[in-house]
């Protein structure tokens, strides 16, 4: 494994990223650093990890998103790893536009497996690249905020930042 890392200060706390060969491989919050390290080690094995300033321009794009340019993260190249099913779910997540939420059932239908709601939810929860693979845009069937590895307060912040609405109500349910 030959990875470069960076830390991005934000209103959510420090955001930690790991990149390889021009692609984002991991993104988590400072308090999820250990979780990200385990995930990366599983995917790439032992190797060299070194800090870098704005690797491949990715930190700058995340900063732009946090500053209000919601489309700045849409084209960041990502390398998620995972099973074929997980990759299918994560690709579907990347197609959810900023400012939009869907339910876990919607996500399962989006990948053509309407009965796989729990499996889609589990894949959503194992997303190794928070924010850029926008798992925060998935909400409960009643519009309530559920499950986010970074914590529901961060999920709420991200959805508010994106001016997201759920279920046509004009607001995200708590």
Q: Quick check: is 135 catalytic? A: yes
Residue among 98, 135, 149, 158 flagged as catalytic = 135
In order of 17, 45, 142, 160, the CA distances from 63 in angstroms are 12, 29, 32, 17
Question: Cβ(14)–Cβ(29) under 8 Å?
Answer: yes
In order of 28, 48, 67, 98, 153, the CA distances from 145 in angstroms are 19, 38, 23, 16, 9
For residue 51, the cross-strand partners are 5
Question: Cβ(18)–Cβ(5) under 8 Å?
Answer: yes
Give catalytic residues, as residue numbers.
135
């Amino acid at each position: 494994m030959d990875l470069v890392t960076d830390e991005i200060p934000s209103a959510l706390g420090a955001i930690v990223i790991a990149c390889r060969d021009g692609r984002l491989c991991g993104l988590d919050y400072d308090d999820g650093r250990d979780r990200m390290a385990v995930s990366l080690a599983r995917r790439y094995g032992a190797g060299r990890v070194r800090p870098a300033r704005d690797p491949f321009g990715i930190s700058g794009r995340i900063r732009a998103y946090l500053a209000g340019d919601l489309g700045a993260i849409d084209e960041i190249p990502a390398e998620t790893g995972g099973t074929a099913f997980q990759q299918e779910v994560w690709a579907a997540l990347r197609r959810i536009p900023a400012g939009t939420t869907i339910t876990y059932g919607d996500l399962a239908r989006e990948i053509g497996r309407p009965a796989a709601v729990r499996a889609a939810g589990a894949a959503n929860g194992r997303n190794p690249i928070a924010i850029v693979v926008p798992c925060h845009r998935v909400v409960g069937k009643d519009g309530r905020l559920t499950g986010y590895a970074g914590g529901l307060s961060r999920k709420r912040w991200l959805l508010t930042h994106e001016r997201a609405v759920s279920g046509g109500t004009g607001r995200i349910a708590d």
